[in-house]
Homo-oligomer: A and B are copies of this chain.
Amino acid sequence: MRFQLSPEEIQSIVNSKHVCGNFEGNITKISSLQEAQLGSLSFLANRKYSRDAATSKASLLLLPEGFDCTPGINQAIFFCENPSIALAKICQYIEKFNAHPTPPEIHPSATIHPSATLAHHISIGPNVVIGEHVSIGENTVIGAGTFIGKYTSIGCDVKIFPNVSLMSFSEIGRHVILHSGVVIGSDGFGFEKIDGRLEKIPQIGNVVLEDFVDIGANTTIDRARFASTIIGRGTKIDNLVQIGHNVKIGKNCIIVAQVGIAGSVTIGDDVTIGGQVGIAGHLHIADGTQIGAQSGVTKDTEPHSILLGSPATSFKEAVRQFASLAKLPDFLKKFSKILPDDC
């Protein structure tokens, strides 16, 4: 993002108790210690990179209090209790500054059904389509080209990026973020074979996203057969994830990119699922379960268990299996010499 911050503005954000040196100019980018140039802000978050701090060409450095470093010419050092938190505050400031440069407006090209209920201070982008009986809460921003099917309700402070598709009857809580290309409420995948043909089983449920849920770009969440597919409060889902019909996910889970969760799976709270994991249908993933990337889960899990592998087993056991498998070729080769011929 484009920004320009004076050292004084940065000081007003981070409130450093100890400033050393002086930079005459504006900060226009954030860089690693090594890549920093004139106009860069940089920071030391990990002591592993301590050496880079002394040689960094950053114009402004965020360093931990007590760290031994002298500013170069036209360089300022702001000592902070926690440089990572200081940096996060600066980034939030920049993000906020860039996010809403224009006042909220309803673009004239949007197609809004007269029965829709829109709260105050809403921003609706070009070519947005809003169906019958949709309701949208305050401060919500809806990006260009997004489609919102009938009877969908959207809470306040929601951010929907461009080109999202929200099917009818979806229920979206407050402070939800939906990235571009997300599809919420597509039909569940269910068929019955009748006379050799596959007949579609009607999917008349919906999708519920509770408050503070984030959904990544091009992720798809299917509507329930009846009742609801539910994503619990504060759960964060990455890009290109597939959530099947009737899935119920608890609170504060983290689901990394390209995970696939089959129909009717239930997932507890505080579960972490690594990238490209698959979870078979109708399983229960207990609270606090952690699942390593590319695992294939075929059984219910115990609370706070850590799993890996396809088929998934305990992390410890999976690592043992991988190590054993690595030894197996040499072992079999050696062994062929001593195995009796008749075995």
Interface residues of A (CB under 8 A from B): 1-3, 29-32, 35, 88, 91-92, 94-95, 98, 101, 107, 109, 111, 125-127, 129, 132, 143-145, 147, 149-151, 161-163, 165, 167-169, 177, 179-181, 183, 186-187, 189, 191-193, 196-198, 200-206, 212, 214, 216-218, 220, 222, 225-227, 234, 236, 238-240, 242, 244, 252, 254, 256-258, 260, 262, 270, 275-276, 278, 280, 293-294, 296, 310-311, 313, 317, 320-329, 331-332, 334-335, 337-340, 343
Q: Chain A interface secondary structure, helix, strand, loop or mixed?
A: loop
Task: Closest B residue to A280 by CB, please name it.
Answer: B293
CA distance A198 to B162 in the complex (A): 24
**CB-CB < 8 A to A222: which residues of B?**
217, 239
A179 to B321, CA, bound (A): 41
Asked whether, in the complex, the Cβ of B258 is within 8 Å of the Cβ of A206, the reply is: no
Assess whether A201 is in contact with B324, with CB atoms less than 8 Å apart: no
Q: How far does the alpha carbon of A324 sit from the alpha carbon of B203 in the complex, in Å?
A: 41
List residues of chain B with CB within 8 A of the CB of A276. 260, 276, 278, 296
Q: How many copies does the complex hold?
A: 3
> A31–B226 contact, CB under 8 A?
yes
The residues of B that contact A275 with a CB separation of less than 8 Å are: 242, 260, 262, 278
Cβ contact within 8 Å between B340 and A338: yes
Chain B proximity of A147: nearest CB distance (Å): 4
Distance, CA A270 to CA B107, complexed state (A): 45
Shortest beta-carbon distance, A266 to chain B, in Å? 12
Selected contact of A168 from candidates B98, B191, B217, CB within 8 Å = B98
- Contact across chains for A238 and B189 when beta carbons are under 8 A apart: yes
Task: Name the distance in Å between A57's Cβ and chain B's nearest Cβ.
Answer: 15
Nearest 3 pairs of A and B residues by beta carbon: A165-B180, A91-B202, A147-B162
B278→A294 contact, CB < 8 A? yes
Contact of A30 among B2, B212, B226 (CB under 8 A): B226
Point out the residue from B181, B325, B339 that lies within 8 Å of A218, measured CB to CB.
Answer: B181
